[in-house]
Amino acid sequence: MNPITYLNNQFLIAMPGLADPHFFHTVTYLCQHNQDGALGIVINRPTEMKLSDIFQQMGIKTELPKVLNTRVFAGGPVQQERGFVIHSPCEQQWDSSISTAENITLTSSRDVLEAIAEGRGPNQYLIALGYAGWGSGQLEKEIIENAWLNTPCGEAILYETPINQRWNAAAEQLGIDINRLTTPAGHG
C-alpha cells in the first residue's frame, strides 16, 4: 500500500476548465492537508477592501500608508467573515498561529494585525477573509478529476508576484504554460 502524500505548503493551481466561480483561475496556498481534509487560502483574488477598512472595523489605529493600502484577499468561500494572515516568521509569538512551512506561518488572531499596524509585525504578509476547505478525501478526488495542479509554494509568488500574474507564475514552476492547457474532451 502506498503511503499517502499530503500537500502541505503547496500551491493548488485551478485548471482552466474549473468553472466554479470561487476557484476559476485561482492559486490556493495549501496551509493544512491531512487525513481529515484540507484548508487553503486563495492568494490571487483581491477584494475591493483595503487593510484600512479592516482596521476601522476592528478599532485598530495606524498611520502607516503601506499598511493602510494593503489589499485584502478573498481567501475562499468558507467563513468569509474570518480573517487569516499568511506571513513570514518573526520573533514574536501570536495567540493563534500554525507554522505551515519553515518560512511561512498562518495566523488568525487580532494580535498580528495590531503588530502590523504598529510597524512591528512580520516583514511579509498576505491578509485574507475566508478560506477554502475540503473534507476527508475530497481534494484528492478533485486532483484525480483534473481540477487542480499542485506545485511547491514559491514565496516570491506568495508575496511579490503581481496578483494578476500569480496563476501563470505558479504553473510556470511546473514548466507549464497553463493558457495552453485544454479541458479533456471526454473520459476514456
Domain with 85 in it: 10-180
User: Taking a C-beta distance cutoff of 8 angstroms, is the pair 165, 115 a contact?
Assistant: no
Per residue in 132-143, pLDDT tens? 999 999 999 999
CATH of the domain at 163: 3.40.1740.10
Rounded CA separation 105/122 (Å): 10
Rounded CA separation 170/43 (Å): 11
For residue 124, the model assigns a pLDDT of 94
Q: Which amino acid is it at 115?
A: A
CA geometry: angle 76, 101, 9, nearest 5 deg: 45
Residue 187 lies in a domain: no
Mean pLDDT, range 48-76, rounded to an integer:
93
Helix (H) or strand (E) holding 112: helix 110-117
Name the domain count of the chain. 1
For residue 90, the model assigns a pLDDT of 81
Residue 27 lies in a domain: yes
Residue 1 lies in a domain: no
Residue 169 lies in a domain: yes
Residues 6+ apart with CB under 8 A from 119: 62, 64, 67
Residue 120 lies in a domain: yes
Residue 3 lies in a domain: no
Between the alpha carbon of residue 28 and those of residues 66, 73, 101, 106, the distances in Å are 24, 11, 15, 13
pLDDT band at 36 (very low <50, low <70, confident <90, very high): very high
pLDDT band at 183 (very low <50, low <70, confident <90, very high): low
Averaged confidence pLDDT in the chain: 90
Q: Coil, strand, or helix at residue 41?
A: strand
Residue 185 lies in a domain: no
Residue 41 lies in a domain: yes
Q: What is the pTM of this model?
A: 0.91
Residue 112 phi/psi, 5-degree rounding, is -70, -35
